[in-house]
């Protein structure tokens, strides 16, 4: 029988982001302080969101509304990477990227932390944009999950495929 294992992933539910985006667009259309500033939010590509408004402070306020909606939908703000507002003619624009997967440098840092501070006999293998952690005992895997939850790698981590 194979050793017990689990996967460390960093995934964002696209449907929840879409719901947060739609709620933000609705709120921008109905709130009094956004009237007449042409504030809007929309998808710009597969994993990017574009915000625009007539003034920089209204653009920042629209971004805050979007962040609030993401939090209410259970999406970590660590997965949102927003640029600085830039003026384009009379309009201010901002793009925000939704990060998916674990980058190679982050995966190496997580693997190193497991090797250095985790229980003996635990292996971490990088598999594309996720990590597979395996050990002889399930208790060791639970210790590794607790270790990773207590650490901050600037990305949201989920633990899947626990067997």
Please report the DSSP string for 91-156 in residue order: EEEEEEEE--S--HHHHHHHHHHHHHHSPTT-EEEEETTEEEEE-SSHHHHHHHHHHHHTS--SS-
Residues 86 and 110 in one domain: no
Residues 88 and 119 in one domain: no
Residues 146 and 116 in one domain: yes
Give me the chain's average pLDDT, please.
92
Residues 40 and 89 in one domain: yes
Q: Which CATH number fits the domain that encloses residue 125?
A: 3.30.70.860
Residues 91 and 26 in one domain: yes
Question: Which residue range is the domain that position 94 belongs to?
Answer: 14-98
Among 47, 74, 98, residue at a domain's last position: 98
Q: Convert the pLDDT of each residue in 37-80 to its tens digit.
A: 899 999 998 889 999 999 999 999 999 999 999 999 999 999 99
Q: Convert the pLDDT of each residue in 2-36 to its tens digit.
A: 789 999 999 999 999 999 999 999 999 999 999 98
| Number of domains observed in the structure of the chain | 2
């Amino acid at each position: 029988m194979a050793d017990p294992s689990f996967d460390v992933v960093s995934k964002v539910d696209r449907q929840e982001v879409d719901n947060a985006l739609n709620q933000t667009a609705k709120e921008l259309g109905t709130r009094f302080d956004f009237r007449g500033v042409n504030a809007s939010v929309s998808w710009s590509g597969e994993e990017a969101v574009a915000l625009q408004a007539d003034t920089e402070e209204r653009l920042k306020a629209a971004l805050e509304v979007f962040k609030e909606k993401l939090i209410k939908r259970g999406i970590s703000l660590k997965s949102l990477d927003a640029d600085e507002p830039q003026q384009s003619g009379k309009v201010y624009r901002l793009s925000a990227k939704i990060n998916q997967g674990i980058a190679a440098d982050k995966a190496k840092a997580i693997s190193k932390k497991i090797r250095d501070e985790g229980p003996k006999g635990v292996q971490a293998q990088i598999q594309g944009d996720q990590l597979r952690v395996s050990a002889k005992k399930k208790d060791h895997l639970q210790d590794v999950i607790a270790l990773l939850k207590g650490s901050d790698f600037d990305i949201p981590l989920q633990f899947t495929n626990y067997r």
